[in-house]
Amino acid sequence: MGLKLSRRQFVGSTTALSLMAIIPRGLLAASSSAQKVVVRSDAEIGAVRPEFHGHFAEHLGACVYGGLWVGKKSPIPNIDGYRKQSVEYLKELGVPVLRWPGGCYADDYHWRDGVGPVEQRPKRVNIHWGGYVEDGSFGTHEFIGLCRLLGAEPYLAGNVGSGSPRELRDWIEYCNMPSGSTLAEERIKNGAAEPFRVRYWGVGNENWGCGGWMRPEVYANLYRQFSVYIREYGGIEPFLVASGPNGNDRRWTRGFMDTLDGGVPGGLSMHYYEGGPDRSTEFSADHMSQQLSIFKKVEDAVVEQRAILDGYRDGRKVGLILDEWGVWDKIPEADEKRYGKLWMQSTMRSAVAAGLGLNIFNRLADKLFMCNIAQIVNVLQSLLLTDGPEGKSCIRTTTYHAFALFKPHRSKTAVRVETQDASPLGVSVSASKAGEELVITLVNPRHDADVELDCTIWNACNTFENPNSVVLQSQPVKMEAARLRMELPRLSVATVILKTE
């Protein structure tokens, strides 16, 4: 594959370079038909915000309980109750921002159930995800403690569906008021002398669905009402995120913005899942192609939703946030019974899906503010898997490694790329630059390019028996003047970092 990178020469232009790639062990690179990709290093798009690599943790299955939190008395190795291996893996990757407690769970969650002495916290039924009894042992303080361990910015989703403006207003004061007020002193009494300084606040979640099954005009009026009572405490101006559309629902966005009539939120969240009819390890080639093709619709949706917002007075001030995205496969009851609700394996196809999404965020860096994959541990397209809530094993998934390949893009400036094949399954490319460094990530979503692909390779994944079946590997690259040549195997994600003179 030839890549015209820029007019400038690269260091070691005629020597062999290397890149890191996700390729299942034992996969041989096949020869491929030549395709040209042009990287316009002088055509800047915008900053690749670290928040594009944000994450989401909901009280669902074994995401929080058993995935992130095992309790201080657990035999599972832990750091003050947080699963030690999860913390170590996530710190290694870097978590820019973490959204909690939902999801659907947020609009039936009352924050006071999760503060104060653990033994006195009420037990509540999780009506959305399995009807199990929640003991409240992981609440606001525990979530902030996790964020501090990971170095993540906290993003709290407030309750609009079954809550009140007073409840959300009090939660913000409890978190951010340094001292003096009754709520601040209560936080201090509960063990947090320093304020939590939470900036990101969701005003409800999926209020078109599990958050109240509302019409956009009804939700907009509630948003207006809630926003009146939200204030700055301790110098932290709340960044309010309104509940946006399901996929590319233009009617919802227009209905919300028309009713709002000024006083725009800091952000508008949209959710877009790439669903599939098969189990994550038993999909057909056709279904895989159909699922990966959805990412083109995601890209189009971001462009259209951004255009809708920009058409309103002050609409350009609203950050577009994709705070739930990722593949959602058919999940067997046996897996849920063994590992927890919505527990899903992550295969090479999942890594390719992650790469397609993250490339979109780079290419649309001027249109997005934040993105949060669903979810961080055990649920849907997760970065980590544990062998059940009580299991001691914790492994990194293929999606984890895909995120690792995109880490070099963070805080750089995205630049434009041109490809020959603009079809949904064409080679996906994004690039970014900073100083003398240019980062290019390429994704090949085709399973049938040049060689016949064996089904076991499509389904390559990291299991508890073989946790390193899919890892980052070196891939040969050759530089010739200002051209880079490399082989991009089928179903692969690769990142190359080039130093410019």
pLDDT digits (tens, 9 = 90+) for 109-130: 999 999 999 999 999 999 999 9
The β-bridge partners of 461 are: 347
Transcribe 197-251 into DSSP letters. Answer: ---EEEE-S-TTTTTT---HHHHHHHHHHHHHT---BTTB--EEEEEEEESS-HH
Closest by CA position to 28, among listed 487, 495, 398: 487
Contact 126, 138 (CB under 8 A): no
The domain defined by 50-411 folds into TIM Barrel (3.20.20)
Start-end of CATH 3.20.20.80 domains in the chain: 50-411
Closest by CA position to 486, among listed 437, 425, 430, 440: 440
Environment class of 468 (CB within 10 Å of its CB; exposed 0-12, middle 13-18, buried 19+): exposed
Choose between 463 and 222: higher pLDDT. Answer: 222
* Strand 16-24 relative to strand 492-499, pairing: antiparallel
Catalytic residue among 134, 142, 173, 324: 324
Is 206 tagged catalytic?
A: yes
Phi, psi of 280 (to 5 degrees): -65, -20
Give the model's confidence band at 324: pLDDT under 50 very low, under 70 low, under 90 confident, else very high. Answer: very high
User: What residues contact 279, with CB distance under 8 A and at least 6 apart?
Assistant: 329, 330, 331, 332
Closest by CA position to 493, among listed 20, 4, 71: 20
Q: Which two tokens stand for residue 486?
A: 């490399």
SS3 295: helix
Closest by CA position to 327, among listed 298, 305, 301: 298
Give the model's confidence band at 468: pLDDT under 50 very low, under 70 low, under 90 confident, else very high. Answer: confident
CA gap 329, 226 in Å, rounded: 35
Which pLDDT does position 1 carry in this prediction? 31
Model confidence at 7: pLDDT above 50: no
Environment class of 169 (CB within 10 Å of its CB; exposed 0-12, middle 13-18, buried 19+): middle
SS3 52: helix
Which helix (H) or strand (E) segment is 404 a member of?
helix 398-406
CA gap 63, 300 in Å, rounded: 30
CA gap 201, 179 in Å, rounded: 21
Distance of CA 44 to the CA centre of its chain: 24
Model confidence at 72: pLDDT above 90: yes
Contact 114, 138 (CB under 8 A): yes
Closest by CA position to 267, among listed 226, 323, 224: 323
Contact 45, 413 (CB under 8 A): yes
Q: How many CB atoms lie within 10 A of CB 249?
A: 17
Catalytic residue among 142, 153, 206, 299: 206
Which helix (H) or strand (E) segment is 188 a member of?
helix 182-189
Quick one: DSSP state of residue 388? S
Choose between 114 and 425: higher pLDDT. Answer: 114
Start-end of CATH 2.60.40.1180 domains in the chain: 2-47+415-499
Report the C-alpha dihedral over residues 422, 423, 429, 430, rounded to 10 degrees: 70
Which pLDDT does position 474 carry in this prediction? 63
Model confidence at 269: pLDDT above 50: yes
Give the model's confidence band at 16: pLDDT under 50 very low, under 70 low, under 90 confident, else very high. Answer: very low
Which pLDDT does position 478 carry in this prediction? 61
User: What average pLDDT is seen over the chain?
Assistant: 89
Of the candidate CATH numbers 3.30.559.10, 3.40.50.720, 1.10.3720.10, 2.60.40.1180, the domain formed by 2-47+415-499 belongs to 2.60.40.1180
Give the model's confidence band at 176: pLDDT under 50 very low, under 70 low, under 90 confident, else very high. Answer: very high
SS3 387: coil
Length of the chain: 501
CA gap 404, 441 in Å, rounded: 11
Which pLDDT does position 13 carry in this prediction? 29
Report the C-alpha dihedral over residues 139, 140, 145, 150, rounded to 10 degrees: 100
Q: How many helices (H) and strands (E) does the chain have?
A: 11, 23
Which pLDDT does position 309 carry in this prediction? 98
Which of 197-232 are b and which e, b meaning 16 or more Cβ less than 10 Å from the residue's Cβ?
Answer: ebbbbbbbbbbbebbbebbbebbbebbeebbeebee
What mean pLDDT do residues 310-328 have? 97
Contact 408, 87 (CB under 8 A): no
CA gap 337, 334 in Å, rounded: 5
CA gap 187, 173 in Å, rounded: 10
